[in-house]
Amino acid sequence: MVCDAMILERIIVHHVELPFSREFSHARKRRHSAKNIVVEVVADQGNLRGYGEGAPRPYVTGESQESAVDGVGGFLENSAFPWHVDSVSAIWQFLDGLPRGKEHNAATCALEMALLDAFGKSQGRSVMDYFPGDFSTGAIRYGAAIPLGGDKGISEISAIIKNLGMHHLRIKMGSDIERSRQALKMIRNIFGNENDLRADANCAWSTEVAFEHLALMEEYDVRVIEDPMDPGDSGIAAFSREAGKIGITLMADESVCSFKDVERAIRKGHFGMVNVRLSKCGGIRKSMKMIDILRRKGLSFQIGCQLGESGLLSAAGRALGLLCGDAVYYDGSYDAFLLKENLTTQNVSFEAGGKAGPLKGAGLGVSVNRAALERLSNPSKRMRVERH
């Protein structure tokens, strides 16, 4: 269906809880499910629907499900909200007028996705068509994450990853040096020495623990350490220097969620790479603007994801990844492996070796399973806003 303008009728915001197929852990949390929000845009007399997803995490942007839903509600009360969309510039004008901080990034991400998904469908175009293609690529290769766990869990997940032929590995690390040693040894025994290893400590290390791990990282040829310690830790400058001497790059994740965070990270110079994740950074438009700043300043980046994304965020992450062929790493499209039940009818996954290309179809390229959305959402907390 192609139309000259898209007239929004109502916006529905869902609280959703997505159950995992197994427990997934990192240094901050053990989780059995993900609590996300889904924004549903209904347009053109109910004949058109677009969907977006946000993954609010209190320890990342400070958002909860409730505050993210409230955030979307506040956006819809804004007199500048584009209920009538005749071009994508109407969406950009509204988004660019929102606060530049991180406090509503998951909400912004979900609303942006829903608007772009609906508008793309109305024009028969992919959401990728609305962004610059200077760095675009026809295919990307995703890496795989190995969560914290015992030997059995690591062995089982590693066997799946090896069978898929994936070569970029991100390993969750705790603060126990001997447990880290055992995990790295096991992973190297399973995969050999050809795989590219990253360690993700989720800011769990103190300065002392970080330096204890440095020789271990060098021994097992770990190339990147993500969030080794709190960025305000007084020892991070010295740790960054010592890591650099042995060819290890520090990557910032949860400490870089906004333009201000990007500028601070560049100014301090401790990190050589940033993990850009859609919900954390406020959607595709804000993420690409942040990436442009990193490019200009000579910092590298990866396109990442939140644990517990449904096929909606996976589809948007795929679009961002394909628009950024110069990213060093790509993480995402894991919903088929992590979730007991998905929100999309399509399996947004990758081929052997982690290879993935564009999704077919307009908008995000996926369709929502309405029955699953109803089953996995809380109707008592659903927010519905009609066009004035």
Beta-carbon contacts of 114 under 8 Å, excluding residues fewer than 6 positions away, are 11, 39, 40, 41, 50, 51, 52
Query: What is the reported pTM?
Result: 0.95
Cα 21 to Cα 19: distance, rounded to the nearest angstrom: 7
Antiparallel, parallel or unpaired: β 329-330 and 300-303? parallel
For residues 345-357, average pLDDT: 94
> Which is it for strands 383-386 and 6-26: parallel, antiparallel or unpaired?
antiparallel
Tokens 């959703």 sit at which residue? Answer: 16
Band of the pLDDT at 153, cuts 50, 70, 90? confident
d(CA 202, CA 210): 12
CATH of 6-128+367-379, one of 3.40.50.880, 3.40.50.300, 2.60.40.1180, 3.30.390.10: 3.30.390.10
| Mean pLDDT for the stretch of residues 353-373 | 97
State the Cα–Cα distance between residues 146 and 161, nearest whole angstrom. Answer: 9
Question: What does the pLDDT average to over 196-213?
Answer: 96
**For 251-263, what is the mean pLDDT?**
96
- Rounded Cα distance between 130 and 121, Å, is 12
Question: Are 202 and 227 a contacting pair, CB within 8 Å?
Answer: yes
Model confidence at 1: pLDDT above 50: no
* Mean pLDDT (whole number) for 16-23: 90
- Position 29 scores a pLDDT of 58
Q: In what order do the strands lie in the sheet with 300-303?
A: 144-146, 168-172, 196-200, 222-226, 249-252, 273-276, 300-303, 329-330
pLDDT tens column, 172-197: 999 999 999 999 999 999 999 889 99
pLDDT number for residue 116: 98
Nearest to 329 by CA among 253, 228, 257, 217: 253
* H helical segments located in the chain: 65-77, 88-96, 105-123, 151-164, 177-191, 207-219, 236-245, 259-268, 278-281, 284-297, 311-323, 335-338, 370-376
Strand, helix or coil at 65?
A: helix
Of all residues in the chain, the percent with pLDDT exceeding 90 is 90
Tokens (6 digits) for 307: 């644990």
Residues of the chain with CATH 3.20.20.120: 130-356
3-state secondary structure of 7: strand
Angstrom distance (rounded) from CA 84 to CA 128: 21
pLDDT tens-digit map of 63-102: 999 999 999 999 999 999 999 999 999 999 999 999 889 9
In whole numbers, what is the pLDDT of the chain averaged over residues? Answer: 94
Q: Which of 160, 163, 166, 158 shows the shortest CA–CA distance to 142? A: 166
Please state, in angstroms and rounded to a whole number, the distance separating the CA atoms of residues 205 and 42.
46
**20 vs 342: CA distance, rounded Å:** 10
Residue 242 and residue 64: Cα distance in Å, rounded?
37
* Rounded mean pLDDT, 26-33: 67
State the pLDDT at residue 149: 80
Predicted confidence (pLDDT) at residue 24 exceeds the cutoff of 80: no
What are the tens digits of pLDDT across the range 114-132? Answer: 999 999 999 999 999 999 9
pLDDT score of 23: 72
Pinpoint the residues of the chain covered by CATH 3.30.390.10.
Answer: 6-128+367-379
> How many other β-carbons are positioned within 10 Å of the β-carbon of residue 321?
27
More confident of the two residues 3 and 273: 273
**pLDDT band for position 30 (50/70/90)?**
low
The answer on pLDDT for 2 being more than 90 is no
CATH of region 130-356, choose from 3.20.20.120, 3.30.1360.200, 3.10.180.10, 3.40.30.10: 3.20.20.120
d(C-alpha 155, C-alpha 176), whole Å: 19
Distance CA 228, CA 213 (A): 10
SS3 23: strand
pLDDT tens column, 364-377? 999 999 999 999 99
* pLDDT: which is higher, 248 or 5: 248
Torsion of CA 199, 204, 209, 215, to 10 degrees: 0
Q: Please report, to the nearest 10 degrees, the dihedral formed by the alpha carbons of residues 309, 114, 251, 255 taken in order.
A: -100
Percent pLDDT > 70 in the chain is 97
Cα-trace Rg, the chain? 20
